[in-house]
Structure 1
Amino acid sequence: MQKLNLNQILSQKLSPQQIQFIKLLQVPTAELDARVEEELEVNPALEEGKEDDGDTGPDDLEPFENEIVKEEKELNLDDYLGDDYGGYKMQGDGNYNPDDEDREMPLSNGISLHEQLISQLNFLKLDENQKKIGQQLIGSIENDGYIRRDLEAIINDLAFSQNIETDLDEVEEVLRKIQNFDPAGIAARNLQECLIIQLERKEHPEDETVQVAINVIANCFDEFTKKHYDKILKKCNIDELKLKEVIHMITRLNPKPGGVSEGLMKTQYVIPDFILNMVNGKFEISLNSKNAPDLRVSRSYTDMFDAYDKSDKKDKKLKETVTFVKQKLDAAKWFIDAIKQRQHTLLKTMQAILDYQYEFFLEGDEAKLRPMILKDIAEKIDMDISTVSRVANSKAIQTEFGVFPLKYFFSEGIATDGGEDVSNREVKSVLHKMVDAEDKRKPLSDDKLVKLLNNKGYNIARRTVAKYREQLQIPVARLRKEL
């Protein structure tokens, strides 16, 4: 038996305009032009150019700002936007992963690696089937230059998609030809094969050191990666001097041959959103000019709406036209307001960060950074943590000491023996110096690093040292060992 129940639920939702502002807020300067162009294309009521008198001014933004702030504090924006804010604290290197957002970065000039390899393939004397096998293999090469797909799977693809019957021997034969292409090491199936290919293509492959290096990688690869040098010396029957030469040669090979192709590598051009200058002894923050596009509502559309609005409302088609024009005008006004509010929020947030980290901006000394989390700035500017996160995640500032992403200024606090909190960046800096100064024959273990840091007054646990070491991309002690 079916029943009809009525439930009363009180809920709030962000308006499309508010969502538009929030989305605009997280767009970095490099992409703002494209976003504005997109809006200009879809909305004929929006034009480039300075606003006429009487258009929306700075004072008109207050209700807009208050509405956004109020909504953000009352609602969980994750439910509506599905964004990853990188965590509440935004620690040091940041939990934010730029790969979480599908951004298309500008590419450097030049042909792609794929085109370069296909061009080399065309020079080989292959029959039609072999040529298609080669194209399939090249298409399976990943960005770093490796083929990780099982060859049997590639054979199946050729059979189903191109009706080409082949076997493992033929595919491997074509693969070996591709592995002779430039860059050296391309189309390897693993790191071991990649290094051997590069060694075999040395200018003098018959050289003793090259031959020993090939032997080490072919027969002692596991020992080499774990730096068990004593085992390699016994297994390959070589002396320590020869092993040093071999290590020197191997460590200068390219572990990611796909990265040498200009056309393949994505280059992110860092365009600072803020510029910080010292003027008459005072800091002045200015926005990059690209953050302030000149936009206005189309006067012709406004006049069109006024004319239609005064005419006969009984005409159905005319009513639809009036509704369409009004929607476009409203959308244009909201977009202009959102751009202005974006500028206002960016400057407000950056000013708060400047005030909080004033000592750092004076000298550029990382040790002067104070522990700072998103909540600290959110409370200063009376905005939601998610708003600060959006600003910090994708923006950068140009200072006299260089260009810094805003997330650089956020870090956890570490207690010292003196009862003070210092930024974890200071601890990382000290940790890095300790590792740089260690005896590479007997590298410092994490336990020893903990004791040394504790002796310097930093109360820090072993697991935290391990975490910081990994963030600094410092290998464990065993892998830092040198002869």
Structure 2
Amino acid sequence: MLKQNLQQKLLQKLSPQQIQFIKLLQVPTVSLDTRIKEELEENPALEDLSLTINEPEEQYPDRDPDEDTYNSEDEKGEMDEFNIDDYLQDDNVNDYGTRYDQNGDDEDERKEIPIAVQSSFFESLQAQLDLLPLSDKDFSIGKQIIGSLDDDGYLRRPIMSLTDDLAFSQNVMADDEEVEDMLKVIQSFDPPGVGARSLQECLLIQLRRKDPNDLIIRKAILVVENYLEEFTRKHYDKLEKSLNMNSIELRGVVNEILKLNPKPGDSNEVSTKQMQVIPDFHIKNNDGVLILTLNSKNAPELKVSRSYQEMFQHYDKASQKDKKLKEAVQFVKQKLDSAKWFIDAIKQRQQTLLKTMNAIMQYQYDFFLTGDDKNLKPMILKDIADRIGMDISTVSRVANSKYVQTEFGTFLLKSFFSEAIQTESGEEVSNKEVKKILEEHIGKEDKRHPLADEKLTDILKEAGYNIARRTVAKYREQMNIPVARLRKEL
């Protein structure tokens, strides 16, 4: 039986502009230039004033410096409906700046950061292979082995698979012994340890390239060959008994092994794998008054194209509008809309970043004045969201990908958020304060008898922090500090 019902639903949908703003908000400063270039390439109605040349200066009036300050009330609501007047106004589009430009640091900020020219790990290996007098077959095998290495320098593909790859992809018929022989050649390359198939083989390759007459080296080879598991678990008492060594001799062997590189492939890639951090905010201490500025790269000089404005005006005034002209008008209107939306999204992004960071700075004012972790207050995303009247997800997008530069270093905003712990006096402190105390005590401990989690718990309780042992273990793991047994040294 069919029935008709009348239902009323309340749905919340994100507009295209809101989606664009959300995506822009989580883009860090270091990636913003790329995102803007993509938009400039896709939308001819959007222009970058910094790339415009031979334009009369009066078309682009200087920005009012009074507008280049943080203003928490400068919020835009919903986008106005399309109006041709919005596109035929003066070119004062870039009315959003940052205080950063007024501090005299903009010249240094806008300089491009030089990138060191350095050959990659695989290019270095290939260059060493090119210098060897090899037959075409051996050269192909060596090239295949290098191409099969992982980024850390290890060969994890079986020899049989390499033989099959050579046969099917390069039509080179080689047996397992030939590949093994060529692998030994690759293992003689720099950095030492490259081409190893296990950690044990990697360490042995490095040790065997050292002085074979050195007694410490010979004993280190013996440890890696036969007692690697005991070594990694730091069962030094077992090693002393098994190898008939005293603690002084064993300390020399252990130190020699610790000098080795367990990931030789990473040695040439350190500089390229490190993420370039460009701070999104700057906080300066001016005689006890904190000044927050936004990186000037967050305020690009964008405007709607004048030629597209004039084109739309011409089409709109046309007396006769056929189908092709209507399509042209619709295309130009769409591009103008998109350009204006993007400029508004960039402006709203800047205001949201400043508003959020200003709230964090005010909340953690004592920390930004002193740089002392013990002055960090317990703070969660909701605390900041309530202060600025925005959703928690908005604060999260800002905190997870943005950095602030202070006099004490550059920090990820996420690092200022922490849970609260109650002391015996009833005062709430940040768990970062507890972590700092743990780090200090572990740093000062006797490494021959490192502090167990139970002992660390007792130390914290004596200091007034009443937390459980499992919480101490959790904080220790979050700081990447191993258990007491693995911190033991001779």
Q: Which among 353, 362, 371 is matched to residue 378 of structure 2?
A: 371
CA 1:127–1:454 in structure 2 vs 1: closer, same or farther (change >3 Å)? same
Which residue of the partner structure matches residue 353 of structure 1? 360
Matched residue of 1:397: which SS?
strand
In structure 1, what residue type is equivalent to 2:265?
G
CA 1:229–1:114 in structure 2 vs 1: closer, same or farther (change >3 Å)? same
Which residue of the partner structure matches residue 197 of structure 2? 189
On the 8 A contact 1:108/1:263 being kept in 2, the answer is no
Matched residue of 1:14: which SS?
coil
The answer to whether residue 457 in structure 2 is matched with residue 450 in structure 1 is: yes
Q: Which among 222, 230, 243 is matched to residue 236 of structure 1?
A: 243
Task: After superposing the two structures, state which structure 1 stretch, 155-164 or 326-335, moved more.
Answer: 155-164
Deviations 1:218-250 (A, max 9, x none): 111011001111211222222322211111111
Which residue of the partner structure matches residue 28 of structure 2? 28
The answer to whether residue 43 in structure 2 is matched with residue 43 in structure 1 is: yes
CA 1:246–1:61 in structure 2 vs 1: closer, same or farther (change >3 Å)? same
The correspondence of residues 129-278 of structure 1 with structure 2, limited to 5 A, is 129-202=137-210, 204-262=211-269, 265-278=272-285
Residue 319 of structure 1 and its aligned partner are, at CA, apart by 1.0
Which residue of the partner structure matches residue 72 of structure 1? none
Where does structure 2 lack aligned partners over 5 or more consecutive residues? Answer: 51-58, 81-112
Which residue of the partner structure matches residue 81 of structure 1? none
Q: Which among 404, 408, 419 is matched to residue 397 of structure 1?
A: 404
The CA distance in 1 between the partners of 2:60 and 2:74, in whole Å, is: 15
Matched residue of 1:230: which SS?
helix
Matched residue of 2:223: which SS?
helix
Where does structure 1 lack aligned partners over 5 or more consecutive residues? Answer: 67-104
Matched residue of 1:63: which SS?
coil
CA 1:307–1:198 in structure 2 vs 1: closer, same or farther (change >3 Å)? same
The CA distance in 2 between the partners of 1:435 and 1:61, in whole Å, is: 48
Corresponding pairs, count? 441
Q: Which among 116, 125, 133 is matched to residue 125 of structure 1?
A: 133
On the 8 A contact 2:46/2:304 being kept in 1, the answer is yes
Q: TM-score, normalized by length of structure 2? A: 0.84
Q: Which among 116, 120, 127 is matched to residue 112 of structure 1?
A: 120
Matched residue of 2:118: which SS?
coil
The CA distance in 2 between the partners of 1:394 and 1:244, in whole Å, is: 43
The CA distance in 1 between the partners of 2:250 and 2:174, in whole Å, is: 43
Matched residue of 1:126: which SS?
coil
Residue 52 of structure 1 and its aligned partner are, at CA, apart by 5.5
Residue 315 of structure 1 and its aligned partner are, at CA, apart by 1.2
On the 8 A contact 1:112/1:264 being kept in 2, the answer is no
The CA distance in 2 between the partners of 1:407 and 1:435, in whole Å, is: 25
The CA distance in 2 between the partners of 1:263 and 1:251, in whole Å, is: 19
Matched residue of 1:185: which SS?
coil
Deviations 1:190-222 (A, max 9, x none): 2211111111112x2221111111111111101
Identity over aligned residues, as a percent? 58
On the 8 A contact 2:419/2:430 being kept in 1, the answer is yes
On the 8 A contact 2:290/2:369 being kept in 1, the answer is no
The CA distance in 2 between the partners of 1:4 and 1:328, in whole Å, is: 46
CA-atom RMSD, angstroms? Answer: 2.7
Which residue of the partner structure matches residue 289 of structure 2? 282
Task: After superposing the two structures, state which structure 1 stretch, 122-131 or 204-213, moved more.
Answer: 122-131
The CA distance in 2 between the partners of 1:401 and 1:316, in whole Å, is: 64
On the 8 A contact 1:183/1:257 being kept in 2, the answer is yes
Task: After superposing the two structures, state which structure 1 stretch, 260-269 or 237-246, moved more.
Answer: 260-269
On the 8 A contact 1:108/1:266 being kept in 2, the answer is no
On the 8 A contact 2:280/2:404 being kept in 1, the answer is yes
Matched residue of 2:451: which SS?
coil
Q: TM-score, normalized by length of structure 1? A: 0.85
The CA distance in 2 between the partners of 1:154 and 1:414, in whole Å, is: 56
CA 1:24–1:313 in structure 2 vs 1: closer, same or farther (change >3 Å)? farther
CA 1:193–1:6 in structure 2 vs 1: closer, same or farther (change >3 Å)? farther
The answer to whether residue 454 in structure 2 is matched with residue 440 in structure 1 is: no
Matched residue of 1:62: which SS?
coil
On the 8 A contact 2:380/2:417 being kept in 1, the answer is yes
Larger gyration radius, structure 1 or structure 2:
2
Residue 60 of structure 1 and its aligned partner are, at CA, apart by 8.6
